[in-house]
Structure 1
Amino acid sequence: MRLDLFYLSSIGPKSRQSLGSAALSISSTSSSLSLCIHETTMWRNSKSLSSKFPISNNPLYHLSSASPTAAHGGVRPALLSHSLTQSYPYSPSPSPSDSLKLGLHRADGVGALPAAADLASLASRASHLARHYGRCYWELSKARLSMLVVATSGTGFVLGSGHAIDFAGLCCTCAGTMMVAASANSLNQVFEKQNDAKMNRTKNRPLPSGRITIPHAVTWASAAGLAGTALLASKANMLAAGLGASNLILYAFVYTPLKQIHPVNTWVGAVVGAIPPLLGWAAASGQVSLNAMLLPAALYFWQIPHFMALAYLCRDDYAAGGFRMFSLADASGRRTASVALRNCIYMIPLGFLAYDWGMTSGWFCLESTLLTLAIAATSFSFYRDRTRHKARKMFHASLLYLPVFMSGILFHRIVDNQQCLTEENFESSVELSLPSQDGNVNRKNRLRNSTDGTQVRPPVSYASIAPFPFLPVPSYAAP
């Protein structure tokens, strides 16, 4: 440092001025060099970023993105930058995902991918809608209750068929009954939408929960009812179709509004439940006879204890929904239990009547009596101790009674028909074992009639055979 000062002091003023200007030029050169290095670095960084992010074609972008040189006092005209960008616009190539979104065809031949994705989404949506509306239709139809109605109708069809059962007619009758029952139950929920919304056990049904609209439900109910009635009319007979249509009207337009008016609705509902087996009998035989009333009578008397137990268990819900059930006017439950017990006693003679009218064997008489005494015992227990537990036991016994009763009447009917066939075979064997002399006499008579030139004419009437054994023996026309 001392040598530098000595050197500066030893030289002249001109030399010191020239030395200062040289130092100033060196410093300015170094600063411009560092500025250029900095600008080069910034340009490389911007180029690497431009490969990752697309550069906008907006001129304002280039005008606003001033270079580092301009920031440090350098000169870069914005107009030149704008002209360059307009002359050579930057258009980044679309990515595969963008081409799929825009529906563009790729060069590698996979242009069908967007169509396949659309088809998959449409199929998924269609499947979701099918599941949704299928579930709504299932709940609107009260499918389990409707299947019970179909079972009673099918039992009536078998009982009215005699020895030969038309299985195609049976299937058509069951299908028509199912459609009519689904229509009646759907209309019932349409009319009771506001009431169902107030009850805990029904507030999640399709209409109160808003999963389906009322016009949609009415359209579904109308289509099912018309299709079921038409099927019964075309494949069975008009009597069965009339019974189905009358049952739909009675349930939807009489029983349903009556539930909010008077407790007699329970007995009207029992009539509705007694018609399906009569419908099945009419579809098989084309008529209604005294034997056809046995199973409807059993269903009528069975429904009273069944409904009474249900009304007692759901008293709070029925009160909240505004339904005038019999149990609401009976705080102690004694009248409800007595009505249930009385109708259970009414069912005891049904097994004997089925045997006496020739519908079943004697075993069904015994089994039906024991079954009815069992359900009567539960109703008597409920009459003595009117609690929810006893009412639930009577309800479960009623659920068990109906399928066992119908299975028994079908089983013993089949056994009885087999016994009749055995008796017919026995009679034919006895006729074959007659003395041969009688056979020879009959043969000689036939030969004599043939030689006389007279032909034996057929009987005038065959009315003496079943089912009219009380008519006189058929007479032959005079030759």
Structure 2
Amino acid sequence: MWRHSATLSFSSRLFYSSTNPNYFHYASAFSHFTPNGVVEPALSPYNRRFYSSSATPSPSPSPDSVIKLGLLADRSETFRPLTAKARDAIQLARHYGRCYWELSKARLSLLVVATSGTGYVLGSGGAVDLMGLCCTCAGTMMVAASANSLNQVFEIKNDAKMKRTRLRPLPSGRITVPHAVTWASTVGLAGTALLTSEANALAAGLAASNLILYAFVYTPLKQIHPVNTWVGAVVGAIPPLLGWAAASGQISLNSLILPAALYFWQIPHFMALAYLCRDDYAAGGYRMFSLADASGQRTAAVAFRNCLYLIPLGFIAYDWGLASGWFCVESSAITLAITAAAFSFYRDRTTQKARKMFYASLLYLPVFMTGLLFHRLTDDQECVADTSDSTFELSSSQDTAISLDDDQKKRRDFTAGSQARPPVAYASVAPFPFLPVPSYVGP
């Protein structure tokens, strides 16, 4: 009797499997064949022990459960194409995301963002607007990504000849030129619009001018004349000025300290890189300063000279009230370190010395910016210093006035009341900061 019912159950499954070819694919997870050809349900170890000890076998699945399994199989078949499409979409997004990352030279763009953010904090005074800082950094990142992408569009053939650049998205064919131009134009316009709406027109103008200077002046000059290095240094000096302008809405004398540091820092940094990659630049067709200097003496001399220009910047930042005296000490120490590396390269022009100077330049910039942020003087601290100075001047003037007679005192008070003038700041004599402060002499 049991054998007859099991045979009927097996025949019913065969009948249903003829109408649904996916039945055995999904039913195999729930059943197995016995040596006698009867399909039995798959058992867990616990149930298997129970089944072997019992005399009555477990019943076979009902036709309703078989129908349910068939419906699940049909539904899974309909979801398979959707899963494949989702997988393709994810792979496509990863591909273009990687291409955009390389087109933007993301690490270089992040360095530009860091300098812009430092300029924003320095130009904010006492209180820093975090939302404005984030918008300024985002806009700077988009404009820098656009400039770097356009740079690679114009240098496809040159990059294809160089070992370190031939695997970039455009030379390797991973992305087309129209796609790269569309990407660069979109992020460039978006970044400029963000700076215009969230910062001010001055910051947006500096960003747009820097994009034009990098993509349409510096890039073609690389194949024409070695002066491209100095033009590129100007491009690198603008982002901190952009950040300062975004925070304060103007460009003041103190705002030029960090751009000056970036300008003079870029020369030894790039001279070391150009010396290390001379063969690569020659293969790519770039007119770098190091290619016309076989001995490397002029290249090392230019790097050493610009390191010397960095030495007084710490004192100027302290003297103009941008940072405390501790920054003057720290800046002098780190500048002397990079100067010593440049002098070592000047004396012994080898690849090892050039690489040492290159690493020293990589260390200099983050330490300089971090120290400037840590030791910066806010508006409140400057006001306290000014108040103490004015209090000292007031007390000394009172002591002097006591020694005068009444007539002279009255005449002095009358003159001071009619011709009173505000005190002149030391920085107001710029661009001649080493001249004495002008003093007003009454009649």
The interval holding the TM-score normalised by the smaller chain is 0.7 to 0.9
Q: C-alpha distance in 2, partners of 1:118/1:175?
A: 38
Q: Which residue of 2 aligns with 1:313?
A: 276
Would you say 1:338 and 2:274 are equivalent positions? no
Tell me if structure 1 keeps the 8 A contact 2:297–2:346.
Answer: yes
Asked whether 1:205 is paired with 2:194, we answer no
Q: Could you say what secondary structure the match of 1:203 adopts?
A: coil
Determine whether 1:276 maps to 2:276: no
Q: CA deviation at 1:130?
A: 1.0
SS of 1:250 mapped into structure 2 = helix
Quick one: distance in 2 between partners of 1:389 and 1:235? 46
Q: Distance in 2 between matches of 1:224 and 1:424?
A: 45
Partners of 2:25 and 2:88 in 1: how far apart?
A: 24
Question: Could you tell me which residue of structure 1 aligns to residue 142 of structure 2?
Answer: 179
Q: Which SS does the other structure have where 2:375 is aligned?
A: helix
> Given the alignment, which residue of 147, 157, 177 partners 2:120?
157
Instruction: State the aligned residue count.
Output: 345
1:288 to 251, 255, 278: 251
Which of 148, 170, 182 matches 1:219? Answer: 182
Which amino acid in the other structure matches residue 356 of structure 1?
Answer: D
Q: 1:9-88 alignment to 2 at 5 Å? A: none
Q: For residues 239-283 of structure 1, give each alpha carbon's deviation from its aligned partner in whole angstroms, at most 9, with x where no partner exists.
A: 000000000000000000100000000000000000000000000
Whole-Å separation in 2 of the counterparts to 1:137 and 1:249: 20
In the alignment, does 2:318 pair up with 1:392?
A: no
2:159/2:171 contact within 8 Å kept: yes
Which amino acid is the alignment partner of residue 195 of structure 2? L
Q: Is the 8 A contact 2:126 2:380 kept in 1?
A: no
Shifted more, 123-132 versus 175-184: the winner is: 123-132
Q: Say if 2:71 is the partner of 1:109.
A: yes
Over aligned residues, Cα RMSD in angstroms? 2.9
Kept after mapping to 2: 8 A contact 1:99/1:106: no
- Tell me the residue number matched to 2:159: 196
Deviates more, 1:276-285 or 1:115-124: 115-124
Q: Distance in 1 between matches of 2:281 and 2:426?
A: 53
| 1:228 aligned to which of 163, 185, 191 | 191
Unaligned residue ranges in structure 1 (runs of 5+): 1-91, 431-462, 471-479
Residue 254 of structure 2 contacts residue 322 of structure 2 at CA under 8 Å; is this kept in 1?
A: yes
The answer to whether the 8 A contact 2:213-2:235 is kept is yes
Contact 2:20 2:70 in 1 (8 A): no
Check conservation: 1:259, 1:323, Cα contact below 8 A: yes
Measure how far apart 1:370 and its partner are: 1.2
Alignment-mate amino acid for residue 122 of structure 2 = L
The correspondence for 2:21, drawn from 75, 84, 95, is 95
Matches of 1:234 and 1:466 in 2, distance apart? 36
* Superposed counterparts of 1:123-138, under 5 Å: 123-138=86-101
Query: How big is each residue's C-alpha offset from its partner over 1:431-453, in whole Å with a ceiling of 9 and x where there is no partner?
Result: xxxxxxxxxxxxxxxxxxxxxxx
SS in 2 for 1:339: helix
Counterpart of 1:253?
Answer: 216
Equivalent residue letter for 2:285: G
Deviation readout 1:407-448 (Å, 9 max, x if unpaired): 00110015x667557769999xx9xxxxxxxxxxxxxxxxxx
Aligned partner letter, 1:290: L
Where 1:197 maps in the other structure, the secondary structure is helix
Structure 2's unaligned 5+ residue stretches are 1-17, 27-66, 393-420, 429-443
AA aligned to 1:262 is H
Q: 1:325 aligns to what?
A: 288
Q: Which string of whole-angstrom CA distances, capped at 9 and with x for unpartnered residues, describes residues 274-325 of structure 1? A: 0000000000000011111110000000000000000000000000000000
Q: 1:426 to 1:338 in 2, by over 3 A?
A: closer
1:238 match: 201
The alpha carbon displacement at 1:128 in A equals 0.6
SS in 1 for 2:376: helix
The answer as to 2:310 corresponding to 1:365 is no
CA distance in 2, matches of 1:160, 1:417: 10
**How much has 1:119 moved relative to structure 2?**
1.7
- Structure 1 residues 126 and 417 mapped into 2: Cα distance closer, same or farther (>3 Å)? same
Normalising by structure 1, report the TM-score. 0.67
Alignment CA distance shift 1:420-1:198 (3 Å): same
Q: Deviations over 1:452-477 (max 9, x none)?
A: xxxxxxxxxxx96999999xxxxxxx
Partners of 2:190 and 2:160 in 1: CA distance:
30
CA distance, structure 1, for counterparts of residue 145 and residue 78 of structure 2 = 40
Alpha-carbon shift at residue 114 of structure 1 (Å)? 2.1
- Structure 1 residue ranges, 4+ long, deviating more than 2 angstroms after superposition: 97-100, 105-108, 416-427, 463-470
1:403 paired to 2:366: yes
- Letter paired with 2:333: L
Match of residue 354 from structure 1? 317
Give the Cα separation in 1 of the matches to 2:212 and 2:328. Answer: 35
- The verdict on how the C-alpha distance between 1:96 and 1:273 changes in structure 2, with shifts beyond 3 A counting, is same
Counterpart AA for 1:96: N
Cα distance in 1 between the residues matched to 2:132 and 2:219: 31
The whole-number CA distance in structure 1 between the counterparts of 2:188 and 2:242 is 15
Counterpart of 1:114 in structure 2: which amino acid? E
How has the CA–CA distance of structure 1 residues 168 and 115 changed in structure 2, closer, same or farther, with 3 Å as cutoff? same
Q: Does 1:169 align with 2:95?
A: no
Check conservation: 2:321, 2:382, Cα contact below 8 A. no
Report the CA distance shift for 1:465/1:174 in structure 2 as closer, same or farther (over 3 A): farther
Does structure 1 retain, via aligned residues, the 8 Å contact 2:22–2:70?
Answer: no
Structure 1 pair 276–223 and aligned structure 2 pair: CA distance change class (3 A): same
Structure 2 CA distance for aligned equivalents of residues 114 and 238 of structure 1: 57
SS at match of 1:109: helix
Letter in 1 for 2:305: R
Normalising by structure 2, what TM-score?
0.73
Task: Give the match for residue 262 of structure 1.
Answer: 225
Measure the CA separation in 2 of the matches of 1:304 and 1:426. Answer: 42
The amino acid across from 1:260 in the alignment is Q
Cα deviation code 1:332-385 (max 9, x no counterpart): 000000000000000101001001100011111111111111100000000000
1:405-424 equivalent positions in 2, closer than 5 A: 405-413=368-376, 419-420=381-382
2:56 corresponding residue in structure 1: none
Alpha-carbon distance in structure 1 between the residues aligned to 2:133 and 2:213: 24
Distance 1:465 1:309 in 2: 47
Decide whether aligned partners of structure 1 residues 97 and 300 sit closer, same or farther in structure 2, where only a CA change above 3 A counts.
farther
